[in-house]
Amino acid sequence: MNNKQFSAQIRLETLKELQHRTFGHIGGSMSIVELLSVLYNDIMHVDPKNPNDPTRDYLVLSKGHAGPALYATLALKGYFPLEMLKTLNDNGTNLPSHADKNKTPGIDMTTGSLGQGLSAAVGIAKGLKIQGKDNRVFAIVGDGELNEGQCYEALIFASKHHLDNLVVFVDDNKLQLDGPTKEVSDIGNLDDRFRSFAFDTRRIDGHNEEIIKASTIDALNKKGMPSIIILDTIKGKGIKEFENLTENHHMRFSEDDNQLLDKYIALLEGENNE
């Protein structure tokens, strides 16, 4: 299966999962689908039959509210049955609203308290270096999350310790919970900011699987410094009527919304059956 096909499957299962729940974090889940497709299809060394494989690569979804997209990806890879996606955010579920490593196979770090996941990823990367291991660490942070000062402390540490086993992805979808990122707390030119921290930095189309793959491979080949890939993305990508809605961070679906979801689910099911 190529990455574009896998992206379509992830998007389909994420939409079905959220529609069944009747509400959820649809915007930020949709904007990282292509990234998850590339990481789990082509880049990361993981074993769904052995989620705690000590030789695995690690993923820290710092923007833990995008868990539905990651859960769909893990289910499609075989970490757990697809049917389990219907339990999203139920009482007693193993698929809570935010990622939890103590509940879900394949989750490497409990996240969702924004600003903290990057520190955890940096700590994992440093620990692996101390142990002389070759595992790689991938972290996904949101652009709104970069309002948090803790993120920059983590960047300083990663740069100081030359953590070239770390690749950070910024989901730069230009929106956060309370509105456009620039209006809530303008974080300025991210490219220049990250370069000032001595990170290998690039900005790419976050919905182009080929570019994501090539850029990630290039980043992994950089020695002596950590890397950041800024993904230009669209919040709510794939549901045209939801894309870039200010309120798409978390939505409770109306009857009209459900009709739209039905339409897009049918379209994606048709693509997957071709």
Q: The domain that contains 202 carries what CATH number?
A: 3.40.50.970
For residue 274, what pLDDT is reported?
A: 63
Exposed/middle/buried for residue 187 (C-beta within 10 Å: 0-12, 13-18, 19+): middle
For residue 82, what pLDDT is reported?
A: 97
Integer angstrom CA distances of residue 158 from 148, 161, 205? 17, 5, 25
In the chain, how many domains are there?
A: 1
State how far the Cα of 242 lies from the Cα of 263, in Å rounded to an integer: 13
Whether 124 contacts 109, CB under 8 Å: yes
Integer angstrom CA distances of residue 134 from 90, 222, 230? 37, 14, 24
For residue 68, what pLDDT is reported?
A: 98
For residue 229, what pLDDT is reported?
A: 98
Sheet of 166-172: strands edge to edge? 58-61, 137-142, 166-172, 227-232, 200-205
Structural domain harbouring 152: 3-272
For residue 178, what pLDDT is reported?
A: 86
Q: pTM higher than 0.85, yes or no?
A: yes
Whether 130 contacts 190, CB under 8 Å: no
State how far the Cα of 11 lies from the Cα of 73, in Å rounded to an integer: 9
For residue 204, what pLDDT is reported?
A: 98
Integer angstrom CA distances of residue 102 from 77, 105, 106, 107, 115? 19, 8, 10, 8, 20
Exposed/middle/buried for residue 87 (C-beta within 10 Å: 0-12, 13-18, 19+): middle
137: part of which helix (H) or strand (E)? strand 137-142
For residue 270, what pLDDT is reported?
A: 84
Encoded amino acid at 220, one letter: L
Write out the chain's pLDDT in tens, 274 residues: 899 999 999 999 999 999 999 999 999 999 999 999 999 999 999 999 999 999 999 999 999 999 999 999 999 999 999 999 999 999 999 999 999 999 999 999 999 899 999 999 999 999 999 999 999 999 999 999 999 999 999 999 999 999 999 999 999 999 998 888 999 998 899 999 999 999 999 999 999 999 999 999 999 999 999 999 999 999 999 999 999 788 999 999 999 999 999 999 999 998 776 6
For residue 271, what pLDDT is reported?
A: 77
